[in-house]
A and B are shown apart, each in its own frame.
Chain A
């Protein structure tokens, strides 16, 4: 039985990448990378991206992508802040944030599923709308909430939230129809439809789950930065995309979209970024390095369609 080495390597690359990155930066920063102090940094930095990636991987699994993430996070944080400012109730803010995240998720999903191959179009439009709202509000001045709310930004709670998210999404992705169908749709949406999968429904569910993840991340972002501006959340959708690709997520989705793509990819991307700052590399160099690695990974995990050997 011949082992498919190419497949084995492409499966293992995300694991290798994580280990290499951790070892490299641990050595290069004289171990500072792994100190408790920096662990806290890493957890804070990875929190949003990981949480959202765990949701977004369902979308990437069916071959689409979500460009509204940053704008949605900003708007959720905005709404949350406004509610806290007017009612002082954190609980109410959380409820509203989640409601908003889920609602936008459903709308986003319905639009994207309708546009099929051009699903990025409504996503893009929605992103502009969300960004526009933030810019409009931001022009009135930065919105701030009191420092006392900072107590909700608790590393321990965040670790717990991530742990729950990991377990939950692992279950959903590998052991329920939600994950399997989204991957099937990514593999062949025509066949999926013919086999009785409600393509529309499962796509919308993927976006809804992501919207929910974004809302939770928004809550914690809100209590951590305690100020909302037009720039809040900007670029987050690309951070998620980069992280997933670092983890080996194929942009076309399908069976090669794995759970470990989100987890490993986020770890790799965050440790990379954090490590480089600790090490003291110029920021331009960081962008350059990130770009090169990104290209390499895309190339390595991109599988060209195999030519059919004559039989």
Chain B
């Protein structure tokens, strides 16, 4: 029996006139953790959707465990031994954890038409334990749990049928370190047992660390399969993007530079999540906040912009001599904010790029008593060009854009307003390499122009790569500060985080 578990030959898939996959060939062996990486539009998700049975291929063949594999749907694929976990919410609200795990399989616990709840809960507990997922009560309503916990439950559901091939499609983006650890452990376990994992992620470091083989896709084609020895970050990035990434990815310098002038300051800021936060943001500084998801870093961003008010303490803009009272006044004082939940809190999805970018600039775009459409178009086009937002026209709805381009739109409105202070919460989350590098370059440029950036991120390499200073937050308090000119390593930051 050969070692090859899954063989894909000449897979083709088109959506209307868009060719998503052009003759893709992949072979996954037993015991392998295969990484898939590519920019948005590269086709990596299409591949996983087809393998998991959620979409049908136009042409091409798949063989699994030596037999022809043509799954009718996801359930069929599940029966054959392939399961998938996705990025979005995959659990059903309103029912219990156990019910979610066994959704569709309730007959296993049904006797005489009655579902034996206790038995279901017990079995659920066993599975969760086996996966190392703690502190989840199978009987509780799933709504009581956080997104991450629900994601773990979803994984438990996928694992229940003991799949031979597990597909993890960009799931880690939304997970904290704890959650990711559970996944990594699971992947290693599957590899050890001679099963296989298909791992899709934007995070190159993560892929390089955990995968045996890395497949790189671009524009629907396989560019290369690299084994571990051949892993080199820059090479991979180049293959993904198809061109040299001009300049450096992160900042080239290793010096900590900023002006004396303080643009944003927090004194003894306290609310129900954070306690006694004190810091100063200087002109021309990129200040990073790092920490676990629940540590309070995101709240700091909201407090800094004025969306939330502190129970105690104050937030000020010393260079302007103003107190931060609410988002509108911060905006008027030249502060900008991009939220972590970009779809829910920053963008109006069902509206044009034009309206999304121009929305806070109307005072600038007036011509007498009318908001001039000409001025508006010029303003918006400028941002679209500067940031290279990929779209067919500025009338396009934001909902049709990729994550990276959406982020550019969110940025665009602050760049256009020439904001002095930018508060960015997870700015490169779900954004592919090409756009990421463009953003880092933009941030570097802004810093040079004397703008200040407060960046909140759970991605350590980003924080290390871009910030002059890093403040680490743990349990709502600042637990440590590090400077760029001293040796900043992931390890040292993590020590402060947990």
Direct A–B contact in the complex, CB atoms closer than 8 angstroms: yes
Most buried by B among A2, A188, A192, A196: A196
Q: Which residue of A lies closest to B413 (CB)?
A: A195
The answer to whether A194 and B348 touch across the interface, beta carbons within 8 angstroms, is: no
- B487 in the interface, Cβ–Cβ < 8 Å? no
Pick from A81-89, A170-178, A260-268 the stretch touching chain B: A170-178
Within 8 A of A (CB), among B360-399: 360, 362, 369-371, 373, 392-393, 399
Contacts of A187 in B (CB 8 A): 348-351
Pick from A51-59, A96-104, A303-311 the stretch touching chain B: A303-311
| A165-190 interface bits toward B, Cβ cutoff 8 Å, 1 = contact, 0 = none | 00000010001110010011001101
Most buried by A among B88, B350, B371, B402: B350
| A53 to B431 CA separation, bound complex (whole angstroms) | 43
Contacts of B16 in A (CB 8 A): 2
| B340-354 interface bits toward A, Cβ cutoff 8 Å, 1 = contact, 0 = none | 000011111111100
The answer to whether B362 and A311 touch across the interface, beta carbons within 8 angstroms, is: no
Instruction: Name A175's contact: one of B44, B48, B371 (CB within 8 Å).
Output: B371
The answer to whether A1 and B392 touch across the interface, beta carbons within 8 angstroms, is: yes
| A184 to B20 CA separation, bound complex (whole angstroms) | 34
Contacts of B359 in A (CB 8 A): 180, 184, 192, 195, 197
Contacts of A197 in B (CB 8 A): 328, 359-360
Given A187-B351, A194-B337, are A176 and B307 also a contact pair (CB < 8 Å)? Answer: no
- B316 in the interface, Cβ–Cβ < 8 Å? no
| A181-213 interface bits toward B, Cβ cutoff 8 Å, 1 = contact, 0 = none | 001100110111111111000000000000000
| A256 to B344 CA separation, bound complex (whole angstroms) | 18
The answer to whether B40 and A2 touch across the interface, beta carbons within 8 angstroms, is: no
Within the complex, the shortest CB–CB distance from A177 to chain B, in Å, comes to 5
Given A184-B355, A196-B360, are A254 and B348 also a contact pair (CB < 8 Å)? Answer: yes
| A310 to B46 CA separation, bound complex (whole angstroms) | 5
Given A190-B344, A191-B348, A306-B399, are A175 and B370 also a contact pair (CB < 8 Å)? Answer: yes
Within 8 A of A (CB), among B13-65: 15-17, 20, 40-46, 48-49, 55
- A255 in the interface, Cβ–Cβ < 8 Å? yes
| A194 to B413 CA separation, bound complex (whole angstroms) | 12
The answer to whether B346 and A194 touch across the interface, beta carbons within 8 angstroms, is: yes
| A165 to B339 CA separation, bound complex (whole angstroms) | 40
State the main secondary structure of chain A at its contact with B: loop
Contacts of A177 in B (CB 8 A): 362, 371
Within 8 A of B (CB), among A286-311: 303, 306, 308-311
The answer to whether B351 and A184 touch across the interface, beta carbons within 8 angstroms, is: yes
Given A171-B370, A187-B348, A191-B348, are A180 and B355 also a contact pair (CB < 8 Å)? Answer: yes
| A272 to B20 CA separation, bound complex (whole angstroms) | 48
State the main secondary structure of chain B at its contact with A: mixed
- B159 in the interface, Cβ–Cβ < 8 Å? no
- B331 in the interface, Cβ–Cβ < 8 Å? yes
The answer to whether A176 and B49 touch across the interface, beta carbons within 8 angstroms, is: no
Within the complex, the shortest CB–CB distance from A304 to chain B, in Å, comes to 12
- B332 in the interface, Cβ–Cβ < 8 Å? yes
| A195 to B328 CA separation, bound complex (whole angstroms) | 7
The answer to whether B351 and A254 touch across the interface, beta carbons within 8 angstroms, is: yes
A-B pair count, CB < 8 Å, reads 96
The answer to whether B350 and A255 touch across the interface, beta carbons within 8 angstroms, is: yes
Instruction: Name A193's contact: one of B15, B49, B327 (CB within 8 Å).
Output: B327
Instruction: Name A255's contact: one of B44, B352, B371, B400 (CB within 8 Å).
Output: B352
Within the complex, the shortest CB–CB distance from B269 to chain A, in Å, comes to 19
Instruction: Name A256's contact: one of B46, B349, B350, B370 (CB within 8 Å).
Output: B350
Contacts of A303 in B (CB 8 A): 350
| A183 to B351 CA separation, bound complex (whole angstroms) | 9
Within the complex, the shortest CB–CB distance from A9 to chain B, in Å, comes to 15
| A308 to B344 CA separation, bound complex (whole angstroms) | 16
Contacts of B355 in A (CB 8 A): 180, 183-184, 255
| A164 to B403 CA separation, bound complex (whole angstroms) | 44
Given A187-B348, A255-B351, A255-B355, are A311 and B45 also a contact pair (CB < 8 Å)? Answer: yes
| A309 to B54 CA separation, bound complex (whole angstroms) | 11
| A34-72 interface bits toward B, Cβ cutoff 8 Å, 1 = contact, 0 = none | 000000000000000000000000000000000000000
Contacts of A194 in B (CB 8 A): 305, 307, 327, 337, 339, 345-346
Contacts of B41 in A (CB 8 A): 311
Within the complex, the shortest CB–CB distance from B15 to chain A, in Å, comes to 6
| A311 to B15 CA separation, bound complex (whole angstroms) | 11
| A256 to B355 CA separation, bound complex (whole angstroms) | 12
Given A254-B348, A306-B399, are A2 and B45 also a contact pair (CB < 8 Å)? Answer: no
Contacts of A1 in B (CB 8 A): 392-393
Within the complex, the shortest CB–CB distance from A116 to chain B, in Å, comes to 16
> A188-B345, A255-B355, A310-B48 known; 11 other A-B pairs, CB under 8 Å?
A177-B362, A180-B355, A180-B362, A188-B347, A188-B349, A192-B359, A194-B337, A195-B331, A197-B360, A310-B20, A311-B44
Return 18 A-B CB contacts under 8 Å, by A number: A171-B369, A175-B369, A183-B355, A184-B348, A184-B359, A188-B345, A191-B346, A193-B327, A194-B339, A194-B346, A195-B360, A196-B360, A255-B348, A255-B355, A303-B350, A310-B46, A311-B41, A311-B46
Nearest 3 Cβ contacts at the A-B interface: A187-B348, A310-B45, A196-B328
